[in-house]
Amino acid sequence: MNNEQNKIPQATAKRLPLYYRFINNLHLQGKLRVSSKELSEAVKVDSATIRRDFSYFGALGKKGYGYNVEYLLKFFRKTLDQDEVTKVSLIGVGNLGTAFLNYNFMKNNNTKIEMGFDASTEKVGKEIGGVPVHHIDELEAKLEDTTVAILTVPSSEAQNIAERLVKAGILGILNFTPARITVPDHVRVHHIDLAVELQSLVYFLKHYPLDEEETE
């Protein structure tokens, strides 16, 4: 999200994806303009709210013409970062890593795993889910403009690999290893420990049954 977006009220920002989807459909149908009434009926938001929302986008509809579809589409794409795909690298192409490469995240998302890295010669040189797997020795040379990495190596390797990632310019790490990693302040780490999450779910089911909580 860019800075301009900060000026848009949150309630308006929440409606952006809704507007975007409808405007995108209109564009695909070859429509050049749309009235606030048409929009209002399609997205179920009253037209006064639409006019106010759109004024934040710098889109001032003209009487008898409506809004320019192309302009709106450009604005939404830019604001929602739909034009920009964030490149992601994955380190550790084991069972979990392989599943992520096959899944990738492009279906409804603007992130894409572009490269995998592994230490095992059995995996290096392969393509999994269309993603090439490079040797971990090539990490620094290959990363280039990648800013996000997924960590699916064994726990014992996590800190060492994280340090190499940081030195190579990575700004965000999604850590799937059970290890807690230490990084400088400018790097954001999100930790997902599947075993802990599962254990926690089982614990909550046992000790805090939902119906009991609701009647409290």
Task: Provide the pairing of β-strand 86-91 with 148-151.
Answer: parallel
Instruction: Tell me if 9 contacts ligand ATP by CB under 6 A.
Output: no
Q: How far is the CB of 133 from ligand ATP (least distance, A)?
A: 9
Q: How far is the CB of 160 from ligand ATP (least distance, A)?
A: 7
Instruction: Tell me if 136 contacts ligand ATP by CB under 6 A.
Output: yes
Q: How far is the CB of 97 from ligand ATP (least distance, A)?
A: 6
Nearer to ligand ATP, 23 or 143 (CB): 143
State which of residues 153, 158, 166, 181 lies at the interface with ligand ATP (CB under 6 A).
153
Q: Where are the alpha helices (DSSP H) in the chain?
A: 10-28, 36-43, 47-56, 69-79, 95-103, 139-143, 155-167, 194-207, 210-215
Query: Helices 36-43 and 10-28: crossing angle, nearest 10°?
Result: 100
Report the distance separating Cα 149 and Cα 159, nearest Å: 13
Q: How far is the CB of 121 from ligand ATP (least distance, A)?
A: 9
Task: Identify residues 34-93 at the interface with ligand ATP (CB under 6 A).
Answer: 91-93
Nearer to ligand ATP, 130 or 178 (CB): 178
Residue number closest to ligand ATP, CB atom: 94
